[in-house]
Amino acid sequence: MSEKKTMARAEIQGRITTEPKLTRRTTDHVAVCRFKVATEAGPASSPVVKEIWVLGDPRIRPSEDLPVKVHSKLGIGCLVCVPGVEHQTMRKVRGVRFPVTVLKAEDVKLREWPQAGGGA
């Protein structure tokens, strides 16, 4: 019996809340940049936070690869728009496994640099 894979397309817009972290997947050695974005949905005291994964392309020179560009150019406070596909993965913390939904980005578009002084 064949198994159908479901996915949800999404476009997230919000501010980066964690410093983009660059790593390499051990299976195929492509770059992966991970960060979180807080959207404007929900109350200000409890914004919706989405985890973003930007996967590299082994055919592209490392300096031109999207995860490397995101890691080197963007930071906390940048307003970004991220189109992609939501995937569910499992995470293990202190021996407990639980599902986590992440957005695998197809692109990361800068909309606005962080405001000086952090004021609105």
∠ CA(71), CA(34), CA(106), 5° rounding? Answer: 85
What is the tens place of the pLDDT at every residue in 97-111?
988 889 999 999 999
Residue 81, Cα to own-chain centre: how many angstroms?
A: 10
What is the tens place of the pLDDT at every residue in 10-65?
999 999 999 999 998 767 788 999 999 998 776 667 788 999 999 999 888 888 99
For 79, phi then psi, to 5°, come to -85, 120
pLDDT for 27: 78
Name the residue with higher pLDDT: 89 or 9: 9
d(CA 40, CA 38): 7
Task: Give the residue extent of every domain in the chain.
Answer: 8-114
Q: Is the pLDDT of residue 75 over 60?
A: yes
d(CA 25, CA 32): 7
| pTM of the predicted model as reported, rounded to 2 decimal places | 0.82
The candidate with the shortest Cα–Cα distance to 40, out of 17, 7, 66, is: 17
Residue 1 — very low, low, confident or very high, per pLDDT cuts 50/70/90? very low
Strand partners, 73: none
Q: Is the pLDDT of residue 7 over 90?
A: no
Domain 8-114, CATH class in plain words? mainly beta
d(CA 117, CA 96): 40
d(CA 16, CA 82): 11
Strand partners, 63: none
